[in-house]
């Protein structure tokens, strides 16, 4: 169902890879709610995914950009404003990558060159995106910038590896830059701490199926899906959340406030 929540709003969506990705679902929902946008991803990711299909479906243009390259981001922002006909109202940062995870390096045995690359892609890129938008005065007042996070930023999930550190850094950047964006431009910046979601990126983490099953048993409402996250993101892009900023918003069916659930306890209780 569409409510026209984003009618007339324009933006940039980072990270749509395939129909399993949260960015993909968000693009579809933004389109349904009347928003227009430019799609962007790293050239290597674009070759792996089906972003052209999404662009056709939503009537969007694609601008390849490496989010770790300030030069690429400057080009992206400039071209996006040309295509969209003015300043930007919303941005989704849905980017994350760990070479240590991909290569099976344990957290206690990191290749630090890979760690640094992962931090640059997953977290520092968010600062670079916002700095580029800020310097170009590219955001409309009451615009909204959202990045996707995970609760491993606050709690230990052993196999989430260095991505946990990246997410903690990402959330800190959101708060710190969000202050200046709010004060100077009236733009809000938030992160969504999403349930474990079976996306292409997430499924690369060891034991991810176990994460998903455990979180689902722990959460009173069950896991939030990629589509649920897209809907929540739409609400944060809309004018209904104009005063929400500097927040890490848990979107996880209640998991983040649980100690234990009866469903999990039953797994450990001996039959009498």
Annotated binding-site members for NAD(+): 15, 21-22, 95, 167
User: 67: which residues sit within 8 A by CB, 6+ positions away?
Assistant: 14, 42, 73, 93, 95, 121, 125, 128, 129
Task: Report the distance separating Cα 44 and Cα 159, nearest Å.
Answer: 25
Task: Report the distance separating Cα 99 and Cα 96, nearest Å.
Answer: 10
Q: Is 107 a catalytic residue?
A: no
φ, ψ dihedrals at 200, nearest 5°: -60, -40
Q: Is 134 a catalytic residue?
A: no
Q: If you count DSSP H runs as helices and E runs as strands, how many of each does the chain have, helices first?
A: 11, 7
Task: Report the distance separating Cα 188 and Cα 207, nearest Å.
Answer: 35
CB 25 within 8 A of CB 17: no
Binding residues: 15, 21-22, 95, 167
Q: Which of 107, 112, 150, 214 is catalytic?
A: 150
Q: Which of 160, 169, 179, 214 is catalytic?
A: 160
| Catalytic positions | 150, 160
């Amino acid at each position: 169902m569409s409510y026209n929540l984003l009618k007339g709003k324009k933006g940039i969506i980072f990270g749509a890879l395939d129909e399993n990705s949260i960015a993909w679902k968000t693009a579809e929902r933004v389109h349904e709610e009347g928003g227009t946008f430019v799609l962007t991803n790293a050239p290597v990711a674009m070759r792996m995914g089906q972003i052209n299909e999404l662009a056709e479906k939503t009537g969007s243009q694609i601008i390849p950009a490496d989010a770790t390259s300030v030069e690429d981001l400057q080009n992206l922002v400039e071209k996006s404003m040309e295509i969209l006909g003015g300043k930007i109202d919303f941005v989704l940062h849905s980017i994350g990558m760990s070479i240590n995870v991909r290569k099976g390096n344990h957290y206690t045995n990191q290749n630090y060159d890979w760690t640094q690359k992962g931090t640059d892609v997953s977290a520092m890129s968010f600062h670079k995106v916002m700095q580029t938008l800020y310097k170009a005065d590219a955001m409309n007042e009451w615009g909204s910038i959202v990045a996707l996070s995970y609760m491993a930023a606050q709690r230990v999930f052993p196999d989430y590896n260095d991505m946990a550190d990246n997410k903690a850094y990402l959330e800190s950047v959101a708060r710190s830059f969000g202050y200046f964006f709010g004060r100077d431009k009236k733009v809000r910046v938030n992160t969504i701490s999403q349930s474990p979601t079976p996306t292409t990126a997430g499924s690369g983490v060891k034991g991810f199926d176990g994460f998903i099953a455990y979180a689902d048993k722990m959460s009173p409402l069950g896991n939030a899906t990629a589509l649920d996250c897209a809907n929540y993101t739409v609400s944060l892009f809309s004018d209904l959340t104009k005063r929400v900023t500097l927040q890490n918003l848990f979107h996880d069916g209640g998991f983040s406030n649980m100690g234990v659930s009866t469903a999990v306890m039953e797994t450990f209780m001996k039959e009498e």
